[in-house]
Amino acid sequence: MNVLMAIWSDWADWLKPSAGFPTLQWSLLLALAALVGHLVQRYSGLPKVLGYSMVGTLAGLAGFGGAGWPLQGIGLFLLELGVAVVLFEAGGRLALRWFRHNPMLLVQSLVEATLTFVAVYLAMRWFGISPQVAQALGLVTMAASPAVLTRVVMDTRASGPVTERAVVLSTLNTFYALVLCSARASVMERGGVARGIDGMVEAVYPVLVVLGLSFVIGGLLALTLRLALRVMSPTSENTAMLLLALIAAAAALAAHLGASAPLAALTGGVLLKQLNPRPWAWPRQLGTASSILIMLMFVLVSTVAAQADWSGPVALLVAALVLVRALAKVVGVALANAGSGARFKQALWVGCAMSPLSSIALLLVSQFASASPLLGPQIARIALPAILLMEVLGAMLVTVALYRAGESGKP
């Protein structure tokens, strides 16, 4: 024993401080996720997202302690950064002139988002959920997941009108959800709402604050990148590093000022597309860096969501929410399809492609959890299992929908 203690003492002198055991855990978890994602796509033809979610789910069910709830600190920032990168790229694909030539597309997004909110709210109220919790769940489930959708499109190499329309509609309803959830979270702990003009001002003011601050930060991001593109090549490695650094800075600034970091990134991408309408050709380095960040985001989402309550009553509520939301998405897109330039069958596949829930929904639920210690756990109790379920099933539905629409190869 004395010999062993002496050896340990000598070895301890050589040990150096490290990043800590959680860093080792996350490194190995991400390495396993990358491997499983590759194997899932190679042997099943399904997107890599399923592999990432599987690894995160198993880690969460096994009690992985590297992701606590509610999210805070570096975990919350990484999730915000991953969502910001996804929405910046989605905003960069959104040409506003499309709505001028096809205004029914905007109407279609409003009808679909409104119907989703109303359907989920009424379904939760029917099960006896309180109005505030039902309202928050309705707002969260308005958003589709551009992250899941774009990754499935990339892995299946899908292209066509259904793909483009699904990406645009998911970006728009994400915009609505970000604005309304951020505003709702800021006033969730207040008492009764005043009536008349005062009540209207009290309801509209938080929305204007979130929109205004996010628009200013997004505008600064777009202008900075536009000036950089005057002297830097879009295909340069340094441009990719500058882009990621500026998105990270905008996300941190938005969180500090009380704005929405994802909304600021989305606004920045849309404005940059208008200022620099030429097709974007970001270098491969950006794709690799963003892919690592997005893989981390999917693993983090599934790890956190898997640690939720999976009791019988909760499972019934989750099943009802998922079913009602899926039907509302399909019906909403189909109802407003007239005059939008798409066939009815295409509208049905677009509605199916908008079923995933993932990182954006988790971020919105985290906002509610931080804003209200009383109502936050009640919202998360239902929302977290639904997010995990629809991250996996949603990716499968998108894959099938794009294949059935004839815009991707057979999975």
What pLDDT is stored for residue 410 in this prediction? 72
pLDDT over 90 at 155, yes or no:
no
pLDDT higher than 70, residue 75: yes
What percentage of residues in the chain have a pLDDT greater than 90? 29
Per-residue three-class SS string for the chain = CHHHHHHHHHHHCCCCCCCCHHHHHHHHHHHHHHHHHHHHHHHHCCCHHHHHHHHHHHHHHCCCCCCCCCCCHHHHHHHHHHHHHHHHHHHHCCCCHHHHHCHHHHHHHHHHHHHHHHHHHHHHHHCCCCHHHHHHHHHHHHCCCHHHHHHHHHHHCCCCHHHHHHHHHHHHHHHHHHHHHHHHHHCCCCCCCCCHHHHHHHHHHHHHHHHHHHHHHHHHHHHHHHHHHHHCCCCCHHHHHHHHHHHHHHHHHHHHHCCCHHHHHHHHHHHHHHHCCCCCCCCHHHHHHHHHHHHHHHHHHHHHHCCCCCCHHHHHHHHHHHHHHHHHHHHHHHHCCCCCCCCHHHHHHHHHHCCCCCHHHHHHHHHHHHHCCCCHHHHHHHHHHHHHHHHHHHHHHHHHHHHHCCCCCCC
Is the peptide bond prior to 70 cis by the omega test (within 30 degrees of 0)?
yes
pLDDT at residue 231 in the model:
85
Rounded mean pLDDT of 5-33?
A: 66
Q: Which of 7-11, 231-235, 404-408 has the highest mean pLDDT?
A: 404-408
Average pLDDT, the chain: 83
* Domain 32-38+45-63+76-404 bears CATH identifier 1.20.1530.20: yes
Q: How much is the pLDDT for 236?
A: 76
Q: Which residue did the predictor score with more confidence, 257 or 52?
A: 52
pLDDT at position 383, please? 92
Residue ranges per structural domain of the chain: 32-38+45-63+76-404
pLDDT top residue among 128 and 340: 128
Task: Give the percent of the chain with pLDDT over 70.
Answer: 87
**Is the per-residue pLDDT at 63 higher than 70?**
yes
Joined tokens for residue 387: 């997010």
Q: Name the band, by pLDDT with cuts 50, 70 and 90, for residue 103.
A: confident
pTM above 0.95, yes or no: no
Task: Tell me the range of 65-79, 149-163, 296-310 where mean pLDDT is highest.
Answer: 149-163
Q: What is the pLDDT of residues 26-57, one digit of tens each?
A: 888 889 999 999 999 988 888 899 999 999 88
pLDDT digits (tens, 9 = 90+) for 281-291: 555 556 667 77
Q: How far apart are CA 207 and CA 137, in angstroms?
A: 18
Q: How confident is the model at residue 194 (pLDDT cuts 50, 70, 90)?
A: very low
> Residues 87, 88, 89, 90: is their CA dihedral positive or negative?
positive
Average pLDDT of the segment spanning 385-393: 90
- pLDDT reading at 193 higher than 50: no
User: How far, CA to CA in Å, does 300 sit from each of 49, 53, 107, 158, 357?
Assistant: 12, 9, 34, 26, 14
Q: Residue 201's pLDDT is what?
A: 60
**Rg of the chain, C-alpha, whole Å:** 22
pLDDT of 21:
61
User: Residue 317's pLDDT is what?
Assistant: 92
Query: pLDDT tens digit string along 213-235?
Result: 889 999 999 999 888 888 887 77
